[in-house]
Amino acid sequence: MLSGIRSTGNLHLGNYYGALRKFVAAQDHFDCNFFIADLHSLTTNPDPDALHANVKSILAEYLAAGLDPEKSTIFIQSDVPEISEMYLLLNMHVGIGELMRTVSFKDKARKMLGIAPSDSESDEEIEKQIVGNDTGKRVNAGLLTYPTLMAVDILIQKATKVPVGKDQLQHLELTRRFARRFNSFYGVDFFPEPTDFSFGGAPVKVPGLDGSGKMGKSEGNCIYLIDEPKALRKKVMRAVTDEGPTAPNSPMSQPVENLFSLLELTSTPEVATQFRNAYNDCSIRYGDLKKQLAEDILAVTTPIRERVADIMADEEYLRKVVARGAEKARERAARTLADMRQIMGIRKF
Protein backbone atom coordinates (compact mmCIF):
# COMPACT_ATOMS: atom_id res chain seq x y z
CA MET A 1 0.00 0.00 0.00
CA LEU A 2 1.23 3.48 -0.83
CA SER A 3 -0.14 6.99 -0.69
CA GLY A 4 1.01 10.57 -0.26
CA ILE A 5 -0.11 14.10 0.44
CA ARG A 6 1.32 17.26 -1.10
CA SER A 7 3.20 19.64 1.18
CA THR A 8 1.18 22.72 0.40
CA GLY A 9 -0.05 23.71 3.87
CA ASN A 10 -1.58 22.20 6.96
CA LEU A 11 -3.81 19.17 6.62
CA HIS A 12 -7.57 19.72 6.56
CA LEU A 13 -10.58 17.50 7.18
CA GLY A 14 -10.63 16.52 3.49
CA ASN A 15 -7.11 15.15 3.75
CA TYR A 16 -8.02 13.44 6.98
CA TYR A 17 -11.18 11.64 5.87
CA GLY A 18 -10.05 11.17 2.27
CA ALA A 19 -6.61 9.85 3.12
CA LEU A 20 -4.88 10.07 6.49
CA ARG A 21 -7.51 8.27 8.55
CA LYS A 22 -7.36 5.38 6.09
CA PHE A 23 -3.56 5.32 6.27
CA VAL A 24 -3.70 4.94 10.03
CA ALA A 25 -6.35 2.20 9.87
CA ALA A 26 -4.37 0.21 7.30
CA GLN A 27 -1.09 0.07 9.21
CA ASP A 28 -1.78 -3.17 11.02
CA HIS A 29 -2.89 -4.97 7.89
CA PHE A 30 -0.54 -4.16 5.03
CA ASP A 31 3.02 -3.31 4.06
CA CYS A 32 2.35 0.43 4.26
CA ASN A 33 4.29 3.28 2.64
CA PHE A 34 3.24 6.87 3.18
CA PHE A 35 5.10 9.90 1.95
CA ILE A 36 5.06 13.65 1.67
CA ALA A 37 4.82 14.70 -1.97
CA ASP A 38 7.13 17.73 -1.85
CA LEU A 39 8.13 17.46 -5.52
CA HIS A 40 4.47 17.63 -6.49
CA SER A 41 4.06 20.86 -4.56
CA LEU A 42 6.77 22.53 -6.67
CA THR A 43 4.22 22.98 -9.49
CA THR A 44 3.00 26.14 -7.77
CA ASN A 45 6.54 27.54 -7.28
CA PRO A 46 6.30 27.87 -3.49
CA ASP A 47 8.56 30.04 -1.39
CA PRO A 48 11.51 27.75 -0.44
CA ASP A 49 11.25 28.37 3.32
CA ALA A 50 7.50 27.83 3.24
CA LEU A 51 7.95 24.57 1.35
CA HIS A 52 10.39 23.28 3.94
CA ALA A 53 8.13 24.35 6.81
CA ASN A 54 5.18 22.60 5.18
CA VAL A 55 7.07 19.32 4.81
CA LYS A 56 7.88 19.45 8.51
CA SER A 57 4.34 20.28 9.60
CA ILE A 58 2.79 17.52 7.50
CA LEU A 59 5.28 15.04 8.86
CA ALA A 60 4.30 16.08 12.40
CA GLU A 61 0.61 15.85 11.50
CA TYR A 62 1.10 12.35 10.05
CA LEU A 63 2.70 11.22 13.29
CA ALA A 64 0.22 13.05 15.51
CA ALA A 65 -2.70 11.42 13.69
CA GLY A 66 -1.25 8.02 14.47
CA LEU A 67 1.08 6.99 11.64
CA ASP A 68 3.65 4.82 13.35
CA PRO A 69 7.19 4.55 11.95
CA GLU A 70 7.47 1.11 13.55
CA LYS A 71 4.62 -0.10 11.35
CA SER A 72 4.78 2.07 8.21
CA THR A 73 7.52 3.41 5.99
CA ILE A 74 7.18 7.18 6.24
CA PHE A 75 9.32 9.19 3.84
CA ILE A 76 9.75 12.38 1.88
CA GLN A 77 9.42 12.05 -1.89
CA SER A 78 12.52 14.12 -2.68
CA ASP A 79 14.63 11.86 -0.44
CA VAL A 80 14.19 9.17 -3.10
CA PRO A 81 16.09 10.48 -6.15
CA GLU A 82 15.20 7.31 -8.07
CA ILE A 83 11.72 8.82 -8.42
CA SER A 84 13.07 11.74 -10.43
CA GLU A 85 14.98 9.50 -12.80
CA MET A 86 12.04 7.18 -13.36
CA TYR A 87 9.85 10.24 -13.99
CA LEU A 88 12.07 11.05 -16.96
CA LEU A 89 11.93 7.48 -18.26
CA LEU A 90 8.19 7.05 -17.86
CA ASN A 91 7.46 10.39 -19.52
CA MET A 92 8.70 8.85 -22.79
CA HIS A 93 5.57 6.71 -22.77
CA VAL A 94 3.07 9.37 -21.80
CA GLY A 95 1.10 11.43 -24.32
CA ILE A 96 0.82 15.20 -23.96
CA GLY A 97 -2.79 14.95 -25.20
CA GLU A 98 -3.86 12.63 -22.41
CA LEU A 99 -2.13 14.84 -19.86
CA MET A 100 -3.86 17.95 -21.20
CA ARG A 101 -7.23 16.27 -20.91
CA THR A 102 -6.75 15.47 -17.21
CA VAL A 103 -9.37 17.29 -15.15
CA SER A 104 -6.91 18.41 -12.49
CA PHE A 105 -4.61 19.90 -15.15
CA LYS A 106 -7.39 21.84 -16.82
CA ASP A 107 -8.64 23.18 -13.48
CA LYS A 108 -5.24 24.17 -12.16
CA ALA A 109 -3.97 25.57 -15.45
CA ARG A 110 -7.05 27.76 -15.78
CA LYS A 111 -6.63 28.94 -12.22
CA MET A 112 -3.00 29.83 -12.91
CA LEU A 113 -4.03 31.78 -16.01
CA GLY A 114 -7.04 33.38 -14.35
CA ILE A 115 -9.47 31.88 -16.91
CA ALA A 116 -12.98 31.35 -15.54
CA PRO A 117 -14.26 27.77 -15.85
CA SER A 118 -17.26 27.17 -18.08
CA ASP A 119 -19.14 23.93 -18.52
CA SER A 120 -20.03 24.45 -22.13
CA GLU A 121 -16.49 24.39 -23.52
CA SER A 122 -15.12 21.35 -25.24
CA ASP A 123 -11.74 19.86 -24.36
CA GLU A 124 -10.34 21.44 -27.54
CA GLU A 125 -11.54 24.91 -26.53
CA ILE A 126 -9.91 24.59 -23.14
CA GLU A 127 -6.66 23.26 -24.58
CA LYS A 128 -6.56 26.21 -26.98
CA GLN A 129 -7.11 28.63 -24.10
CA ILE A 130 -4.24 27.09 -22.16
CA VAL A 131 -1.77 26.80 -25.02
CA GLY A 132 -2.64 30.03 -26.79
CA ASN A 133 -3.33 32.23 -23.80
CA ASP A 134 -2.38 35.88 -23.96
CA THR A 135 -2.51 36.57 -20.24
CA GLY A 136 1.27 36.81 -19.97
CA LYS A 137 1.17 34.06 -17.34
CA ARG A 138 2.70 30.63 -17.70
CA VAL A 139 1.60 27.09 -16.95
CA ASN A 140 4.71 25.10 -16.16
CA ALA A 141 5.48 21.73 -17.70
CA GLY A 142 5.63 20.20 -14.21
CA LEU A 143 1.91 20.78 -13.84
CA LEU A 144 1.25 19.02 -17.13
CA THR A 145 3.35 16.01 -16.17
CA TYR A 146 1.99 15.85 -12.61
CA PRO A 147 0.19 12.54 -13.33
CA THR A 148 3.44 10.97 -14.58
CA LEU A 149 5.15 11.83 -11.31
CA MET A 150 2.25 10.42 -9.31
CA ALA A 151 2.29 7.22 -11.39
CA VAL A 152 6.02 6.92 -10.69
CA ASP A 153 5.47 7.27 -6.92
CA ILE A 154 3.16 4.28 -7.10
CA LEU A 155 4.87 2.13 -9.73
CA ILE A 156 8.39 2.54 -8.38
CA GLN A 157 7.24 0.84 -5.17
CA LYS A 158 5.12 -1.62 -7.19
CA ALA A 159 2.23 -0.66 -4.96
CA THR A 160 -1.15 -2.21 -5.68
CA LYS A 161 -3.32 -0.53 -3.06
CA VAL A 162 -3.59 3.25 -3.09
CA PRO A 163 -5.93 4.92 -0.58
CA VAL A 164 -7.01 8.33 -1.92
CA GLY A 165 -9.97 10.70 -2.00
CA LYS A 166 -12.33 10.81 -4.97
CA ASP A 167 -10.47 13.68 -6.64
CA GLN A 168 -7.43 11.44 -7.25
CA LEU A 169 -9.23 8.59 -8.99
CA GLN A 170 -8.51 9.90 -12.47
CA HIS A 171 -4.79 10.01 -11.68
CA LEU A 172 -4.99 6.38 -10.59
CA GLU A 173 -6.72 5.47 -13.82
CA LEU A 174 -3.84 7.09 -15.73
CA THR A 175 -1.34 5.18 -13.59
CA ARG A 176 -2.96 1.91 -14.61
CA ARG A 177 -2.92 2.98 -18.23
CA PHE A 178 0.79 3.88 -18.11
CA ALA A 179 1.60 0.57 -16.39
CA ARG A 180 -0.27 -1.44 -19.05
CA ARG A 181 1.31 0.56 -21.84
CA PHE A 182 4.83 0.02 -20.52
CA ASN A 183 4.24 -3.69 -20.01
CA SER A 184 2.81 -4.19 -23.47
CA PHE A 185 5.39 -1.98 -25.27
CA TYR A 186 8.30 -4.00 -23.88
CA GLY A 187 6.45 -7.32 -23.73
CA VAL A 188 6.99 -7.66 -19.99
CA ASP A 189 4.85 -8.31 -16.96
CA PHE A 190 6.66 -5.71 -14.89
CA PHE A 191 4.33 -3.17 -13.31
CA PRO A 192 1.28 -4.35 -11.39
CA GLU A 193 -1.87 -2.27 -11.90
CA PRO A 194 -2.73 -0.34 -8.75
CA THR A 195 -6.28 0.20 -7.59
CA ASP A 196 -7.90 2.64 -5.26
CA PHE A 197 -8.11 0.92 -1.96
CA SER A 198 -10.19 2.54 0.69
CA PHE A 199 -9.58 0.71 3.87
CA GLY A 200 -12.55 1.43 6.10
CA GLY A 201 -15.06 2.90 3.62
CA ALA A 202 -15.47 4.01 0.01
CA PRO A 203 -13.56 7.03 -1.38
CA VAL A 204 -15.08 10.23 -0.06
CA LYS A 205 -15.29 13.85 -1.10
CA VAL A 206 -15.33 16.11 1.94
CA PRO A 207 -17.24 19.30 1.07
CA GLY A 208 -16.21 22.87 1.94
CA LEU A 209 -17.81 25.27 4.41
CA ASP A 210 -18.56 27.81 1.70
CA GLY A 211 -21.29 25.73 0.10
CA SER A 212 -18.91 24.44 -2.59
CA GLY A 213 -18.41 20.80 -3.50
CA LYS A 214 -14.92 20.20 -2.15
CA MET A 215 -12.83 21.23 0.82
CA GLY A 216 -9.47 22.32 -0.56
CA LYS A 217 -6.45 24.32 0.56
CA SER A 218 -6.66 26.65 -2.39
CA GLU A 219 -10.39 27.18 -1.92
CA GLY A 220 -10.11 28.87 1.50
CA ASN A 221 -13.00 26.79 2.83
CA CYS A 222 -11.09 24.44 5.10
CA ILE A 223 -11.16 23.21 8.64
CA TYR A 224 -7.58 22.38 9.55
CA LEU A 225 -6.62 19.62 11.95
CA ILE A 226 -4.64 22.16 13.96
CA ASP A 227 -7.34 24.86 14.11
CA GLU A 228 -7.74 26.15 17.67
CA PRO A 229 -11.20 25.41 19.17
CA LYS A 230 -12.30 29.03 19.14
CA ALA A 231 -11.35 29.60 15.53
CA LEU A 232 -12.81 26.27 14.50
CA ARG A 233 -16.16 26.98 16.14
CA LYS A 234 -16.25 30.38 14.47
CA LYS A 235 -15.60 28.88 11.04
CA VAL A 236 -18.35 26.30 11.45
CA MET A 237 -20.85 28.85 12.76
CA ARG A 238 -20.15 30.98 9.69
CA ALA A 239 -20.67 28.13 7.21
CA VAL A 240 -23.05 28.95 4.37
CA THR A 241 -26.65 27.69 4.76
CA ASP A 242 -30.02 28.73 3.32
CA GLU A 243 -33.35 30.11 4.56
CA GLY A 244 -34.39 26.73 5.94
CA PRO A 245 -37.00 24.26 4.72
CA THR A 246 -40.52 25.64 4.33
CA ALA A 247 -42.30 22.38 3.43
CA PRO A 248 -41.81 18.90 4.89
CA ASN A 249 -39.29 16.64 3.13
CA SER A 250 -37.96 19.43 0.88
CA PRO A 251 -34.86 18.71 -1.19
CA MET A 252 -31.66 20.11 0.38
CA SER A 253 -29.63 22.92 -1.10
CA GLN A 254 -25.95 22.15 -1.74
CA PRO A 255 -24.64 24.14 1.28
CA VAL A 256 -27.00 22.34 3.67
CA GLU A 257 -26.27 18.97 2.09
CA ASN A 258 -22.59 19.77 2.74
CA LEU A 259 -23.20 20.33 6.45
CA PHE A 260 -25.01 17.02 6.64
CA SER A 261 -22.13 15.28 4.85
CA LEU A 262 -19.73 16.70 7.43
CA LEU A 263 -22.04 15.67 10.25
CA GLU A 264 -22.26 12.15 8.87
CA LEU A 265 -18.47 11.91 8.80
CA THR A 266 -17.86 13.24 12.29
CA SER A 267 -20.96 12.48 14.40
CA THR A 268 -22.74 9.31 15.39
CA PRO A 269 -25.44 7.94 13.05
CA GLU A 270 -28.04 8.77 15.75
CA VAL A 271 -27.12 12.44 15.81
CA ALA A 272 -27.13 12.68 12.02
CA THR A 273 -30.56 11.00 11.84
CA GLN A 274 -31.94 13.29 14.51
CA PHE A 275 -30.97 16.39 12.49
CA ARG A 276 -32.18 14.84 9.24
CA ASN A 277 -35.58 14.23 10.85
CA ALA A 278 -35.63 17.80 12.12
CA TYR A 279 -34.89 19.02 8.58
CA ASN A 280 -37.64 16.87 7.15
CA ASP A 281 -40.27 18.12 9.60
CA CYS A 282 -39.02 21.73 9.28
CA SER A 283 -38.12 22.06 12.97
CA ILE A 284 -34.38 22.29 12.31
CA ARG A 285 -32.32 25.20 13.60
CA TYR A 286 -29.11 25.45 11.64
CA GLY A 287 -27.42 27.08 14.63
CA ASP A 288 -27.94 23.91 16.68
CA LEU A 289 -26.68 21.73 13.87
CA LYS A 290 -23.55 23.85 13.54
CA LYS A 291 -22.87 23.80 17.28
CA GLN A 292 -23.13 20.04 17.32
CA LEU A 293 -20.96 19.77 14.22
CA ALA A 294 -18.22 21.98 15.67
CA GLU A 295 -18.04 19.90 18.86
CA ASP A 296 -17.97 16.62 16.95
CA ILE A 297 -15.19 17.89 14.68
CA LEU A 298 -13.23 19.07 17.72
CA ALA A 299 -13.53 15.61 19.26
CA VAL A 300 -11.67 14.29 16.20
CA THR A 301 -9.10 17.06 15.81
CA THR A 302 -8.22 17.95 19.42
CA PRO A 303 -6.07 14.89 20.22
CA ILE A 304 -4.17 15.42 16.95
CA ARG A 305 -3.67 19.15 17.51
CA GLU A 306 -2.43 18.57 21.03
CA ARG A 307 0.26 16.14 19.86
CA VAL A 308 1.48 18.19 16.88
CA ALA A 309 3.36 20.85 18.86
CA ASP A 310 5.39 18.30 20.86
CA ILE A 311 6.31 16.34 17.78
CA MET A 312 7.32 19.48 15.86
CA ALA A 313 9.68 20.41 18.67
CA ASP A 314 11.53 17.10 18.51
CA GLU A 315 13.62 17.62 15.39
CA GLU A 316 15.94 14.76 16.22
CA TYR A 317 13.00 12.36 16.18
CA LEU A 318 11.66 13.77 12.89
CA ARG A 319 15.08 13.40 11.30
CA LYS A 320 15.31 9.78 12.40
CA VAL A 321 11.86 8.92 11.13
CA VAL A 322 12.46 10.24 7.62
CA ALA A 323 16.04 8.93 7.39
CA ARG A 324 14.85 5.43 8.15
CA GLY A 325 11.85 5.85 5.84
CA ALA A 326 14.03 7.06 2.97
CA GLU A 327 16.38 4.13 3.37
CA LYS A 328 13.55 1.63 3.10
CA ALA A 329 11.79 3.44 0.26
CA ARG A 330 15.02 3.76 -1.72
CA GLU A 331 15.79 0.08 -1.48
CA ARG A 332 12.72 -0.95 -3.43
CA ALA A 333 12.83 2.11 -5.70
CA ALA A 334 16.43 1.38 -6.71
CA ARG A 335 15.53 -2.20 -7.61
CA THR A 336 12.59 -1.14 -9.77
CA LEU A 337 14.63 1.56 -11.49
CA ALA A 338 17.54 -0.78 -12.22
CA ASP A 339 15.14 -3.30 -13.80
CA MET A 340 13.37 -0.59 -15.73
CA ARG A 341 16.61 0.74 -17.19
CA GLN A 342 17.51 -2.78 -18.20
CA ILE A 343 14.13 -3.34 -19.86
CA MET A 344 14.39 -0.07 -21.77
CA GLY A 345 17.88 -0.86 -23.03
CA ILE A 346 19.97 1.36 -20.78
CA ARG A 347 22.58 -1.27 -20.08
CA LYS A 348 26.17 -1.50 -18.99
CA PHE A 349 29.00 -2.58 -21.30
Instruction: State the catalytic residues.
Output: 108, 214, 217
Considering the complex, what minimum distance in angstroms separates the CB of residue 244 from ligand TYM? 26
Which of 37, 60, 76, 293 forms a contact with ligand TYM (CB under 6 A)?
Answer: 37
Closer residue to ligand TYM (CB): 204 or 308: 204
Which residues have a Cβ under 8 Å from the Cβ of 241 and sit 6 or more positions away? Answer: 255, 256, 259, 286
Q: In the β-sheet with 72-76, what is the strand arrangement from edge to edge?
A: 2-6, 32-37, 72-76
Which residues have a Cβ under 8 Å from the Cβ of 264 and sit 6 or more positions away? Answer: 272
DSSP letter for 137, please. -
Considering the complex, what minimum distance in angstroms separates the CB of residue 206 from ligand TYM? 4
Q: How far is CA 124 from the centre of its chain?
A: 28
Closer residue to ligand TYM (CB): 151 or 340: 151
Closer residue to ligand TYM (CB): 203 or 245: 203
* Residue 121 dihedral angles phi and psi, to the nearest 5°: -75, 145
Using CB under 6 A as the binding rule, the residues of this chain from 272 to 311 that contact ligand TYM are none
Considering the complex, what minimum distance in angstroms separates the CB of residue 2 from ligand TYM? 6
Q: How many residues bind ligand TYM (CB under 6 A)?
A: 27
Handedness of CA 261, 264, 267, 269 (dihedral sign): positive
DSSP letter for 115, please. P
205 touches ligand TYM by CB under 6 A: yes
258 touches ligand TYM by CB under 6 A: no
Which residues have a Cβ under 8 Å from the Cβ of 270 and sit 6 or more positions away? Answer: none
Using CB under 6 A as the binding rule, the residues of this chain from 38 to 97 that contact ligand TYM are 40
Q: Which residue's CB atom is positioned nearest to ligand TYM? A: 18
* Residue 37 dihedral angles phi and psi, to the nearest 5°: -85, 75
Using CB under 6 A as the binding rule, the residues of this chain from 210 to 239 that contact ligand TYM are 214-216
- What is the C-alpha to C-alpha distance for residues 16 and 5, in angstroms, rounded to an integer? 10
196 touches ligand TYM by CB under 6 A: no
Using CB under 6 A as the binding rule, the residues of this chain from 114 to 153 that contact ligand TYM are 150, 153
Task: Candidates 68-76, 113-121, 164-172, 298-306: pick the segment binding ligand TYM (CB under 6 A).
Answer: 164-172
Which of 1, 9, 15, 279 forms a contact with ligand TYM (CB under 6 A)?
Answer: 15
Using CB under 6 A as the binding rule, the residues of this chain from 165 to 194 that contact ligand TYM are 165, 167-168, 171
Which residues have a Cβ under 8 Å from the Cβ of 251 and sit 6 or more positions away? Answer: none
Phi-psi region of 247 (alpha: psi -120 to 50; beta: other; left: phi over 0): beta
Whether 263 and 296 have beta carbons less than 8 Å apart is answered as yes
Closer residue to ligand TYM (CB): 181 or 214: 214
- What is the C-alpha to C-alpha distance for residues 14 and 276, in angstroms, rounded to an integer? 22
Closer residue to ligand TYM (CB): 154 or 321: 154
Which of 67, 154, 156, 333 forms a contact with ligand TYM (CB under 6 A)?
Answer: 154
Q: Which residues are at the interface with ligand TYM (CB under 6 A)?
A: 2-6, 14-15, 17-19, 37, 40, 150, 153-154, 162, 164-165, 167-168, 171, 204-206, 214-216
